[in-house]
Amino acid sequence: MNSLLFQPVEPKKNNLPKDGARSRALIVFAFLSLGFTVISLRLLQIQLFEHEKYLELATTVHTVRKVLPPKRGYIVDCKNVPLAQSFLTYKVRLDGMNVQEPAITIQELEEFLGLEKNSLLQNFRRMDRSYLLAKGLSEEKVQTLEAFEKEKLRQWKKKKLPAEHFLTFEEDYSRIYPCGREAAPLIGYLDENGKGAAGVEKAMNEWLEGTPGEKWIERDVFGKEIAAYRGLEVKPVDGCNVSLTLDSVIQHIVEEGIDRVEKEFLPNGIMAIVMNPKTGEILAMAQRPSFDPNRREKWNIAFLKNKNLTDPVEPGSIFKIVTLSGILEEKIFSLDNSTINCENGAFFYGGKTLHDSHPYGMLSVREVVMKSSNIGFAKMGLELGENRLYHYARAFGFGEPTGMLLGQGESPGILYPPRLWSKLSITRIPMGQEIAVTPIQMIRAMAAIANHGYLVKPMIIKDIRNPQGKIIRSFSPVIIRRVISERTAKLVTSALVSVVSPKGTGAKAAIMGFTVAGKTGTAQKVVHGNYVKGKYISSFIGFLPAEDPEFVLMIMVDEPHGTQYYAASVAAPAFSYIGSEIAQALNLTPKCVPAQAIRIETEK
């Protein structure tokens, strides 16, 4: 019993951590405290100093900037007839993340949009949330697609599949050209991004395109627009409207006329221009082949450029108006009292023999022009001399662009300075060889004769108007310089009236009731530096009424096929029937005026 009472008691176990454990606990606590401190400080920093930055970032994640396209301005003719206009259409985009059963859905979309089979499926990407499916859609087409989307969502819900909107529609504008291929190379077209790529569309793009607007919108987690964001919206500013000097009625007459030439002679190409000689206003400009700007899928890139501005050719005898002007201005020869020996059709000079189409002997200067004697003009060139001939060619605007307001690409043509001429050049340039000109240069030169000796700048833009119709900029005719005196211009006109007389090469260019002044030209084509037999450019250029010209018309036919290729049989008749229609369109009053009615004071 005593042993039980006095049995030693064991001490209680110590529950406190030993030194090592305590250290580890302190370290963990310290790290946790430090972490919380860093996080707290970072939160404080964000709240106090970087609030705006992260607010902007959060806004960016949940809001999207939507571009609001402006309406591109109209291009209209001189009577306000639309030549190019824009109308409201729609773009549709596909959200790949929200597409279920893609093989079926994409195939059905291809059918709805008229796309080639599998063309869309090949480009389908799940991660692409804004793939452009199509543009230029009508409102009816959009409604059809909306109904299609609604039905797909219903089917997916029934199958317990995620059913979120996968089509997004955006307002857009499509460009149409009501006159189709008429004046298409002049008016131009847009590139894939809606920017002017050629013609007036390019030259006036800055005025036509307008200024885009913008709207900030909120989207949900699936990318679907849910609301405008805080009313932030800048409305687009529509483009200005551009009025041209072009007359769509005259343009249509010319287009139909060259269609007739094309059908009859099957040429490689045709170029035609109508100009008001007093102002330089272009009333019509056409070419074949051409293109329809509404049908991009059928374009041939070779037909897109405006060959009336870009493609210089040897003009042949129509250039003789320059040589004649120089001879008469310098008073070297008289129109009716001087004669030239045309050598019975063969003239040897500079080691080469120059031929006429018919053997002529002594001819007056007027007769040389009437019969278009190459030998007669070669001898005029020799009398005029290299420097003066070059001076008049430059004065009439050859060797430099006309400066017509049509963007890039106008050719200066080819006119070499006398130091680069060969011995033969002085006999060849006077008749339109060894020089290359564009149709716009050639018609401007003829217009100078019709305009009493004044050279004007070709003009296509009439004015620019804001979307409300107010004129904000207008363009006036520009006289560049006097080329020849009024007296010389009248003498040249008188000679050109003789060309269209029954005995002249341009007899078939005559128009009943009007006095026509004009010149034929049949130029042998140059290929790789050599004249090619059987390949010709047939041209006629003239104006009427000769006593008070209202328009100049030029027609150039490249390689007419068949038995006829001379300008007298190809281009001159075309001038007659096209010119007759234009005279009616301009309400010109026919008069029975003989050629002698244009009285010219000749030599005293």
Which residue has 């029954």 as its token pair? 502
Helix (H), strand (E) at residue 168: strand 167-176
Which residue in 460, 437, 403 sits closest to 185, CA to CA? 460
Tokens for 258, please give them: 């060259």
Catalytic residue among 86, 248, 317, 373: 317
Tokens for 32, please give them: 């946790």
For the residues of 279-340, what is the DSSP string, one character each?
Answer: T-BEEEEEEES---TT-GGG--GGGSS-HHHH--B--GGGGHHHHHHHHHHTTSS-TTT-EE
Q: CA distances (Å), 254 to each of 84, 261, 284, 578, in order?
A: 19, 11, 7, 6
CA–CA separation, 196 and 73 (whole Å): 12
Which residue in 595, 592, 483 sits closest to 546, CA to CA? 595
CA–CA separation, 241 and 548 (whole Å): 33
Instruction: Give the angle subtended at the CA of 204 by the CAs of 198 and 207, to the nearest 5°.
Output: 140
CA–CA separation, 569 and 68 (whole Å): 57
- H/E/C letters for each residue in 51-107? HHHHHHHHHHHHEEEEEECCCCCCEECCCCCEEEEEEEEEEEEECHHHCCCHHHHHH
The radius of gyration of the chain from alpha carbons, rounded to an integer in Å, stands at 39
CA–CA separation, 182 and 291 (whole Å): 8
Does the annotation count 334 as an active-site position? no
* Residues with a known catalytic role: 317
